């Protein structure tokens, strides 16, 4: 079996792979990664560079374009909270985006604010992300390499 055959994994396996992949990428960039004992607050792990602040990371994964969301009660919009999004394409290493939660402070067609406060709506309020080919140019500014380099400058400076 060749590597990166994501269709052979179930949803839970892909999600677990995404979380470990992001942890290892951060480690390779000099971050110390600390896993949470219980995932009841929506944060999958925290990480920090030697001299910098902790960042909180929630990881989501998609095997194709689509929509991911985080419950508002478990994903706070604050400067050191990030969504790590892993996009899986058959035969390729995951493409990772590291999106600061504050991107949702100005909701739009990509960064969605769903309140679900109308009569009869029972879903919990959520922050969503529309991932499509059309939205990839906007999302590219949040590529892992770009954001990690910015974080490195902030913590090393």
Summarize pLDDT for 7-45 with one digit per residue, the tens. Answer: 999 999 999 999 999 999 999 999 999 998 766 667 999
pLDDT bucket at 3, cuts 50 / 70 / 90: confident
Q: What is the pLDDT of residue 154?
A: 66
How many angstroms separate the first and last alpha carbons of the chain?
Answer: 45
CA distances from 8 to 4, 62, 68, 81, 90 (A): 9, 14, 21, 32, 10
CA distances from 102 to 2, 45, 75, 81, 118 (A): 38, 18, 11, 8, 25
pLDDT bucket at 1, cuts 50 / 70 / 90: low
Tokens of 27: 């480690």
Q: What is the pTM of this model?
A: 0.91
Summarize pLDDT for 35-79 with one digit per residue, the tens. Answer: 987 666 679 999 998 878 899 999 999 999 999 999 999 999 999
pLDDT bucket at 136, cuts 50 / 70 / 90: very high
Q: What is the pLDDT of residue 50?
A: 85
- Residue 43 CB partners (closer than 8 Å, separation 6+): 36, 56, 57, 58, 74, 81
Q: What span, in angstroms and rounded, lies between the C-alpha atoms of 95 and 8?
A: 18
Domains of the chain: 6-64+75-103+135-156 (3.40.1350.10)
Q: What span, in angstroms and rounded, lies between the C-alpha atoms of 82 and 101?
A: 5
Q: Measured in whole angstroms, how far is the alpha carbon of residue 128 from the centre of its chain?
A: 11
| Backbone conformation region of residue 35, classed left if phi is above 0, alpha if psi is from -120 to 50, else beta | beta
The residue written with tokens 């969504």 in the block is: 83
Helix ranges restricted to H, 8-111: 11-28
């Amino acid at each position: 079996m060749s590597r990166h055959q994501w269709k052979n994994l179930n949803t839970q396996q892909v999600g677990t792979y995404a979380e470990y992949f992001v942890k290892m990428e951060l480690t390779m960039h000099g971050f110390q990664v600390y896993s949470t004992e219980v995932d009841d607050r929506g944060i999958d792990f925290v990480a920090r560079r030697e001299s910098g602040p902790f960042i909180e990371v929630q990881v989501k994964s998609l095997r194709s374009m689509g929509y991911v969301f985080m419950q508002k009660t478990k994903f706070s919009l604050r400067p050191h909270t990030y969504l790590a999004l892993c996009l899986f394409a058959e035969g390729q290493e995951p493409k990772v985006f590291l999106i600061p939660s504050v991107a949702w402070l100005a909701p739009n067609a990509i960064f969605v604010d769903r309140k679900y406060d109308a009569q009869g709506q029972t879903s919990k309020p959520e922050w969503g992300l529309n991932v499509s080919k059309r939205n990839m140019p906007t999302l590219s500014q949040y590529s892992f390499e770009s954001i990690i380099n910015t974080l490195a400058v902030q913590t090393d400076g």
